[in-house]
Amino acid sequence: MSTEALLHIGDILGAHGLKGTLTIYSHTRPAQAIAGYSCWWLGKSAETAKPYPVRRCWLHGGKRTLAELDGINSCNEAEAFKGLKVWVKASEVEVDEDEFLWQDLIGCEVLRDESDELLGTVIALEEYGAQDNLLIRTSDDADVQGEWLIPFIEEIVIDVNLDESTIWVNLPEGMDVCFTPRS
C-alpha cells in the first residue's frame, strides 16, 4: 500500500493470450497515455492496491490497452486480476495549468457567476463524447432538491479555484433543462 495518494486510471477487463497479458480499459486522455507510467498499482481500492512494474504496454483498439506486468506470467495469473482497478501515484500525473483531475473537482461548490447563487456540490464527472459534464447535487436546504448536469466547457465554466473548492459557471438561457428535480 502506498502512503501517497493514488489516482484511478484504468480497469482490468481480463486476460489476453497465454503469457499473462492483461486487457485494460484506459481512463486516460489520450487512451495510450496509460502506457506512460512505469509502475501501476492494482487493487479493488487505492488502500488495497499493490505495485506492479510495467514491462510493456500498447494500445489495442479504441480505449483498450494490452499490458505485460512483472509478476504476472500466465493466463491463469492474469485472469485473477480481472475486475481490479489500475492506479498510479497522483504526483506522477502531469496536469497543465488549464487542466484539472476529476478527483480534484469532486466536492467543489458550484456558483452562478452573475449572482453567486449556490447550485450545489460536484458529486461526479461524466463523459458523454463531446465533453465532460459536472454532476452537481443541490444542497440539503435548497428550495428544490435535484441534480444539475452541466457541460465542463469554457463557455459555461468561468473559473475554477481548487484552493477554495469553488467553481463559477455562467448558465445561458435555456440551461434550466440541465436540472433534474428529485421528488
Q: Which domains does the chain have, with CATH numbers?
A: 6-90 (2.40.30.60), 102-178 (2.30.30.240)
State pTM to two decimals: 0.69
Q: What are the pLDDT digits (tens) for 168-178?
A: 999 988 888 88
Burial 85-102 (b: 16+ CB within 10 A, else e): bbbbebeeeeeeeeebeb
- Three-state DSSP class for 172? coil
Asked whether the predicted pLDDT for residue 34 surpasses 80, the reply is yes
Q: How confident is the model at residue 81 (pLDDT cuts 50, 70, 90)?
A: very high
The pLDDT value recorded for residue 101 is: 81
The pLDDT value recorded for residue 138 is: 94
Residue 85's closest CA among 30, 155, 7, 151? Answer: 7
Q: How confident is the model at residue 89 (pLDDT cuts 50, 70, 90)?
A: very high
Distant-in-sequence, close-in-space partners of 70: CB < 8 Å, separation ≥ 6: 52, 53, 54, 55
Is the bond into 30 cis (omega within 30 degrees of 0)?
A: yes
The pLDDT value recorded for residue 59 is: 87
Distant-in-sequence, close-in-space partners of 91: CB < 8 Å, separation ≥ 6: 4, 5
From CA 178, how far away is CA 183, in angstroms rounded? Answer: 16
- The stretch 64-89 carries a mean pLDDT of 95
Could you give the maximum distance between any two Cα atoms of the chain, in Å?
A: 60
Residues forming beta bridges with residue 39, ordered by sequence position:
53
The pLDDT value recorded for residue 40 is: 96
The pLDDT value recorded for residue 183 is: 67
Q: How confident is the model at residue 3 (pLDDT cuts 50, 70, 90)?
A: low
Q: How many CA atoms lie within 13 A of 174 on its CB side?
A: 0
**Span between the terminal Cα atoms of the chain, in Å:** 42
- Three-state DSSP class for 2? coil
The pLDDT value recorded for residue 51 is: 96
Lowest mean pLDDT across 51-65, 89-103, 108-122, 156-170: 89-103
From CA 69, how far away is CA 111, in angstroms rounded? Answer: 44
- The stretch 64-92 carries a mean pLDDT of 94
